[in-house]
């Protein structure tokens, strides 16, 4: 057993925010919580939060998952994002061939088998998307869900499998086939009407990929994908909070419209994260970092130069209480992925995945399974 004690900060737990706390850790999980007594880590007025869970991580540390879908790439990306408090993540494959999708699925299985820290599954973002809302995705790879794709995506896997698709390009029966097999379906890169979006949700889709971005907007006579997402109390919505992808005023409106437990922070992170903002290549095209945002030569958004600690800090700046911001970074994505029994909160029975943010909201310490790794 290991004892981790903390004092002089805000320790966010489901029972409320505490000033001091001692965690007894056994087999990487929190066995019990007690008052801190004796030697403790001084949080210096900062925050101790459950480790961040990011469902959309394309790259980091100079590596892009699409370029080399291997356990080594996953480890490099995970090590990079762990420095920013991410203790669980889904390596994300941007639209590609089915062969590359298969390679990504196998690589994640292999990474989990090898015990690569923080990797808990995979996010296949496309190629089942709408070219009208393609963003930076390569539309040459786009295709509908057919029997071959469904067979590939529904095979048993070691971790969670999340798929982003456009509902208007894929029949509700195909969506149901995925969800009935345990695949987590999210809607994105879509020009769906309200009715098409509703049909997909009724077929089992339970997520919205980067709400507002690359989807049909909310218009008073045509609610579109955004209207369907904001109306439904059950779907989980990913938000990119870098103050460029979504205006702060729109974020506040969305947060006021939805239940507190259905919004999630995502980074949509690219190789520039943890790599000094250096440029990289995607689909053979150069991508540069422009004031914290990744763009191609035409100025098209190409993911983010964003980490979860910064996303959380940005969320606090728009007036979100720390407890809700923490849930958006940890508890809500855990529930979305169906791992809330083991992840996403500082409580008995949950993994001892922790992040210490200083009073300036910069990462001061990270623990995965009770072991300090940063």
10 is in an annotated binding site: no
221 is in an annotated binding site: yes
Q: 6 with 21: CB under 8 angstroms? A: yes
220 is in an annotated binding site: no
For residues 36 and 290, give the distance between their C-alpha atoms in angstroms, rounded to a whole number.
Answer: 45
- Peptide bond connecting 87 to the previous residue in cis, omega within 30 degrees of 0: no
303 is in an annotated binding site: yes
112 is in an annotated binding site: no
Please pick, among 109, 268, 307, 353, the residue that the annotation labels catalytic.
268
Q: What are the tokens at 273?
A: 């994260």
Q: What are the tokens at 172?
A: 């509700």
243 is in an annotated binding site: no
**Using a CB cutoff of 8 Å and minimum separation of 24, what contacts does 247-252 make?**
248/317, 248/318, 250/212, 251/315, 251/318, 252/318, 252/319
245 is in an annotated binding site: yes
58 is in an annotated binding site: no
Q: 268 an active-site residue?
A: yes
Q: 119 with 112: CB under 8 angstroms? A: yes
302 is in an annotated binding site: yes
> What's the 3-state SS for 357-371?
ECCCCCEEEEEECCE
Per the listing, tokens 């850790």 go with 25
Binding-site residue ranges for substrate? 136, 213-214, 221, 245, 301-303
- Residues annotated as catalytic are 268
- Binding site for Zn(2+), residues? 125, 189, 210
Q: Which residues are annotated as a binding site?
A: 125, 136, 189, 210, 213-214, 221, 245, 301-303
């Amino acid at each position: 057993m290991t004892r981790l004690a903390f004092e002089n900060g805000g320790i966010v737990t489901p029972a409320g925010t505490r000033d001091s706390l001692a965690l007894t850790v056994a087999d990487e999980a929190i066995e019990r919580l007690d008052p801190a007594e004796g030697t403790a880590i001084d949080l210096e007025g900062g925050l101790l939060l459950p480790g961040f869970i990011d469902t959309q991580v394309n790259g980091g540390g100079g590596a892009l998952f699409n370029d080399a879908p291997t356990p080594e790439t996953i480890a490099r990306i995970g090590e990079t994002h762990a420095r920013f408090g991410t203790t669980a993540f889904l390596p994300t494959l941007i639209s590609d061939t089915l062969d590359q999708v298969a390679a990504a699925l196998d690589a994640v299985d292999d990474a989990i088998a090898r015990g690569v820290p923080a990797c808990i599954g995979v996010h296949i973002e496309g190629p089942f998307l709408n070219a009208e809302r393609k963003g930076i995705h390569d539309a040459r790879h786009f295709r509908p869900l057919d029997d071959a794709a469904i067979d590939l995506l529904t095979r048993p896997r070691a971790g969670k499998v999340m798929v982003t698709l456009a509902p208007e390009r894929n029949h509700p029966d195909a969506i149901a086939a995925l969800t009935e097999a345990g695949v987590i379906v999210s809607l994105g890169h879509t020009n769906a009407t309200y009715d098409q979006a509703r049909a997909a949700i009724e077929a089992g889709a339970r997520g919205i990929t980067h709400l507002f971005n690359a989807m049909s907007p909310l218009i008073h006579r045509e609610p579109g994908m955004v209207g369907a997402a904001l109306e439904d109390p059950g779907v989980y919505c990913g938000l990119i909070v870098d103050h460029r992808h979504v205006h702060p005023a729109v974020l506040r409106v969305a947060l006021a419209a939805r239940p507190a437990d259905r919004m999630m922070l995502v980074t949509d992170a690219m190789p520039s994260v943890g790599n000094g903002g250096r440029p990289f290549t995607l689909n053979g095209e150069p991508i540069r970092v422009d004031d914290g945002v990744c763009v191609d030569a035409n100025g098209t958004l190409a993911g983010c130069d964003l980490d979860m600690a910064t996303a959380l800090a940005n969320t606090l700046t728009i007036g979100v209480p720390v407890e809700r911001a923490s849930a958006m970074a940890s508890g809500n994505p855990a529930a979305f992925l169906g791992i809330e029994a083991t992840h996403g909160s500082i409580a008995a029975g949950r993994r001892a995945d922790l992040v210490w943010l200083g009073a300036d909201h910069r990462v001061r310490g990270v623990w995965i399974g009770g072991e300090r790794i940063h």
